[in-house]
Chain A
């Protein structure tokens, strides 16, 4: 019965088909033709092909000269004449067989040679072995890692922290995790190379403002605000970030954090602070530039620091609110795709944190020493001190440059060599000249650590003065 009913309906349908209005049949015909065209059309890319004729292509191919695989460089390129250090780069460093006082390694709190740190690392070595052989998501998470993250979060008084296994990769993975194409980042001209690489990887629009110049930054922010008002729908989707360093490695100055926070709230941007040199140096308890200025840490969205300087370990960490840091666990490239920190280094970092928490007096000692050597080095003929008096890593630049960067570098290298002969180990600040966005002038970088005694500081200041007199005059 059902089939008969259906068939009857079908007959009715076919009848109706014959009575169909004309426009419908035309439409159906068009649609069938469209289907056939679709079925037979080829796939092609939307971007237009380049309009080079065959002849032009041949010309271009003939013009091309292969560059040599190894470009010719001069014999005294610094990478070819390096100094060989035997033994640990602690307070007394053995360079090329000569024992010197170390004014070049970033060992601010002297924790590199600390017996407690070494004992903790050895104990952890015996327990866990040397490496982790895996990223964090793939059996590379050990209890020391979680311990260290906890301790760092508690020390910096934030909700959560995340550990990276290489200091350079910390900020270079943290920035692209949040800032994508179409977002805007305002960054200082003197930002360090790691920040520059992170910004390059993030493919966002970068706006540089003059070093520590809040008026310039405000001008850029205002321009951006005017653009936003023209196109509010786009503005609602773009994110704005300000990236600044607590203590700049290239100039030794401290960023004006209170003004940055004010600008942040006025123009609705997010602040990423890079505290590699200021963690364990500034502030009463070593918590960095936020403690130094007395700003609540909740105002800063992300603090990223490098454990290779004060904590005398390897790796880096980011700390902030849970909501922010958790995102990096899946999208921080250096976290997900490289092996985690070796547990002996994590244990060493925990012990170093213990030491930092136990005697907060070392920070004021360090500040004293910085001020002292800063004063002692003023007034050298031919060299000027670049950096704040509180900064333990400052630069000595030539007062009047000779005009060519190579000659400057050679002069400074002579000064460094003479100082090394008198057993003061200094180094020049090295940059990848072709890759940096704003190349700083060549300089000698002097680092003050807690372990240097006052007389060593005096001797160093005297030596640098005499050498500078001899070389530059």
Chain B
């Protein structure tokens, strides 16, 4: 993730890009794809749940979940520090919010507008 230093963008753009790409990837893998890529026993119990909902047997606030919630926040703080709070700032904020909201326990199993329900 931090290897985006290699291309010859300037530092602020790099940080924004890292933040945004990391949040996008996390959203797709944890909150969009449902079920499991391998066969599980339990006759399809987890067929309709995203990886985030299935993690740790649906217990909230376990250590893995806490780590994965805190890492985008840390990235956001770093990114906003390095971009000196300029125009791309709102992009960073929006992407942070979009990755923090699905992790709330209130949103467990909630599908807005029926997208991705089945």
Q: List A residues at the B interface (Cβ < 8 Å).
A: 9, 12-13, 16-17, 20-21, 24, 27-28, 31, 34-35, 38-39, 41-46, 176, 180-183, 201-204, 233-234, 236-237, 330-331
Contact residues, B52-107 vs A (CB, 8 A): 56, 58-62, 66, 69-70, 73, 76-77, 80-82, 84-85, 89, 93, 105
Q: Are B43 and A180 in contact (CB under 8 A)?
A: yes
Q: Which residues of B contact A (CB under 8 A)?
A: 11, 39, 43-45, 47-48, 56, 58-62, 66, 69-70, 73, 76-77, 80-82, 84-85, 89, 93, 105, 108, 114, 117-118
| 28 sampled A-B residue pairs with Cβ under 8 A | A9-B11, A13-B82, A13-B84, A20-B85, A24-B80, A31-B73, A31-B77, A34-B73, A35-B70, A35-B73, A38-B69, A38-B70, A39-B66, A43-B59, A43-B61, A45-B58, A45-B59, A46-B60, A46-B105, A176-B43, A181-B47, A182-B48, A201-B43, A233-B114, A233-B117, A234-B118, A237-B118, A331-B39
Q: Knowing A39-B66, A202-B43 are in contact, say whether A13-B60 is a contact too (CB < 8 A).
A: no
Residues of B within 8 A of A31 (CB): 73, 76-77
> Given the complex, which residues of B lie within 8 Å of A43, measured CB to CB?
56, 59-62
B47 touches A182 (CB 8 A): yes
- Whether A24 contacts B77 in the complex (CB less than 8 A), given A43-B59, A43-B62, A45-B58, comes out as no
Measured in the bound complex, the distance between the Cα atoms of B35 and A237 in whole Å is 12
Inside 8 A of A182's CB, which chain B residues have their CB? Answer: 44, 47-48
Give the distance in Å from the alpha carbon of A182 to the alpha carbon of B45 in the complex: 9
Residues of A near B105 (CB, < 8 A) are 46
CB nearest neighbor in A for B34 = A237
Number of A-B contacts (CB under 8 A): 72
Cross-chain contact B118 with A330 (CB below 8 angstroms): no
Inside 8 A of A181's CB, which chain B residues have their CB?
Answer: 43-45, 47
CA distance A35 to B93 in the complex (A): 16
For B59, list chain A residues within 8 Å (CB): 43-45
Q: Which residues on A sit within 8 Å (CB–CB) of B39? A: 330-331
List A contacts of B45 (CB < 8 A): 181
Known: A38-B61, A44-B61, A234-B118. A21 touches B43 (CB 8 A): no
The verdict on A21 contacting B85 (CB below 8 Å), with A31-B76, A44-B59 known, is yes
Q: With a CB–CB cut-off of 8 A, which chain B residues contact A44?
A: 59-61
B118–A16 CB distance below 8 A: no
Q: Is A28 within 8 A of B47, CB to CB?
A: no
Known contacts A181-B44, A331-B39; A236 and B118 CB within 8 A of each other: yes
B118 touches A46 (CB 8 A): no
Given known pairs A181-B44, A237-B118, the reply for A27 and B93 (CB within 8 Å) is yes
- Chain A min CB distance to B86 (Å): 9
* Residues in A whose Cβ lies below 8 Å from that of B93: 27
Chain A residue numbers with a CB within 8 Å of B85 are 16, 20-21, 24
Instruction: Across the interface, name the chain A residue whose C-beta is closest to B57.
Output: A45
Tell me what chain A mostly uses at the interface: helix, strand, loop, or mixed: helix
B42 to chain A, nearest CB (A): 8
Bound: A436/B10 CA distance, A: 73
A323→B6 CA distance, assembly (Å): 47
**Docked CA distance A13–B11 (Å):** 11
New contact pairs (20) apart from A9-B11, A176-B43, CB-CB < 8 Å: A13-B84, A17-B81, A20-B85, A31-B73, A34-B73, A39-B66, A42-B61, A43-B61, A43-B62, A45-B58, A46-B108, A180-B44, A180-B47, A181-B43, A182-B44, A201-B43, A204-B43, A233-B114, A233-B117, A237-B118
Contact B61 A41 (CB under 8 A): yes
User: Which of B60, B77, B114, B118 is the one whose CB lies under 8 Å from A28?
Assistant: B77
CB-nearest residue of chain A relative to B83?
A: A16
**A233 lies within 8 A of B81 (CB):** no
Q: Which residues of B contact A204 (CB under 8 A)?
A: 43
Residues of A within 8 A of B84 (CB): 12-13, 16
Taking the closest CB of chain B, its distance from the CB of A8, in whole angstroms, is 12
Cα–Cα, bound, A330→B39 (Å): 9
Q: How far is the CB of A229 from chain B (nearest CB, A)?
A: 15
- A183, B37: Cα distance in complex, Å: 19
Smallest CB separation, A286 vs chain B (Å):
35
Q: B77 to chain A: which residues have CB within 8 Å?
A: 28, 31
Max count, chain B CB within 10 A of own CB: residue among A41, A43, A201:
A43
- Find chain B residues with CB under 8 A from A28 CB: 77, 80
**B89–A24 CB distance below 8 A:** yes
